[in-house]
Amino acid sequence: MRQAPAAIVSKRAWLIALALLAVPLLAGFNARLVVTRQLFEEEARLQREIEAEEARATFLKAYAQYVQSDEFVERWARGTRMAKPGEIAVVPEMPVDAADASAPLSAGNAPRDFALEWWAAFFASEP
C-alpha cells in the first residue's frame, strides 16, 4: 500500500508551510525571552540600588541625630579651637626666625640619615 505521489507532495507542502509559520513564531518567542531576561536584570539592579539607598538613609538619620547631640557640638568646637567658659585656649605656634631659616646646616643640626644608622646597627660599620 504505497501512497500516491500527490499525497506525499501534499504532506511535504504542509510540512514546509508549517515550518514557514513556525519560524516567525519562534523568533518572536525568542525576542520576548530576551526582553524578559533584560527586565529581570533591571529589576535586580534597581533592587540593589534601593537597598543601598535605604542603608544610606539609615546612616543619614543616625548621623543627623549625632549632629544634634552635645557630643558632636563639643567635638566640633574643640576642632575649631574653642574653649569652654573658664578654660584657656592654648594654640602653639612655631616661631619664625629669619636667622634660623637662612643659616646653613651644620653637623650638629643636619637631618639624620636613618638608613646609615640602621646600616651601622646591623653591620657595625659605616657603608
pLDDT (tens digit, 9 = 90+) per residue, 10-67? 888 888 888 888 888 888 888 899 999 999 999 999 999 999 999 999 999 999 999 9
Q: What is the pLDDT confidence band of residue 72, given thresholds at 50, 70 and 90?
A: very high
Say what percent of the chain tops pLDDT 90: 33
Phi-psi region of 85 (alpha: psi -120 to 50; beta: other; left: phi over 0): beta
| Contact present, 124 and 114 (Cβ < 8 Å) | no
Residue range 61-87: mean pLDDT, rounded: 89
Helices and strands, counts by H and E, the chain: 4, 0
Lowest mean pLDDT among 68-72, 78-82, 97-101: 97-101
φ, ψ dihedrals at 109, nearest 5°: -115, 20
Average pLDDT over residues 90-119: 66
Q: What is the mean pLDDT of the chain?
A: 82
Angle at Cα 79 formed by Cα 76 and Cα 85, nearest 5°?
Answer: 75
pLDDT band at 113 (very low <50, low <70, confident <90, very high): confident
**pLDDT above 80 for 124:** no
* Chain centre to alpha carbon of residue 122: 44
